[in-house]
């Protein structure tokens, strides 16, 4: 996941790469929330991930993250620098797709365990 996001950031350009990078970032946040709170229901983890992404995006509107990135450029991968409304939708879409994959794979694993 991290590798895909970094490749997108380095190789990609334009709106499509930006949206894909944002969606992958949101999937990573969902995975981190899932590691931190594994007993939470998937829906709760998804909501928490989207909210965290949106909070980071809203902070970009203040200029604070840009100041931090000036001092520590790698922070751009975590905090970003500029607010964009489109990013809010990309985060929700990334988490939504990840939730779909997680739900389907979870059902498949339970069905296989029952067959054994």
The per-residue pLDDT for 12 is: 54
CA distances, 106 to each of 2, 22, 100, 112 (Å): 22, 25, 10, 10
> Hey, how many other C-beta atoms are within 10 angstroms of the C-beta on 92?
18
Nearest Cα neighbor of 52 from 83, 28, 84, 77 is 28
Domain residue spans in the chain?
Answer: 2-115
CB 94 within 8 A of CB 25: yes
What is this structure's pTM?
A: 0.80
Residues 38-87 have pLDDT tens digits of 999 999 999 999 999 999 999 999 999 999 999 999 998 889 888 999 99
CB 115 within 8 A of CB 100: no
Cα distance between residue 74 and residue 19, in whole Å: 20
- Chain-centroid distance, C-alpha 12: 17
């Amino acid at each position: 996941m991290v590798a895909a996001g970094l490749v997108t950031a380095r190789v990609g350009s334009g709106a499509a790469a930006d949206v894909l990078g944002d969606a992958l970032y949101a999937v990573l946040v969902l995975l981190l929330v899932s590691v931190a709170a594994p007993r939470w229901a998937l829906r709760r983890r998804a909501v928490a991930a989207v909210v965290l992404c949106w909070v980071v995006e809203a902070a970009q509107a203040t200029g604070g993250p840009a100041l931090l990135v000036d001092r520590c450029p790698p922070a751009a991968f975590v905090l970003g620098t500029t607010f964009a409304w489109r990013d809010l939708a990309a985060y929700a879409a990334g988490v939504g797709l990840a939730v779909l994959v997680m739900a389907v794979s979870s059902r498949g694993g339970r069905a296989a365990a029952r067959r054994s």
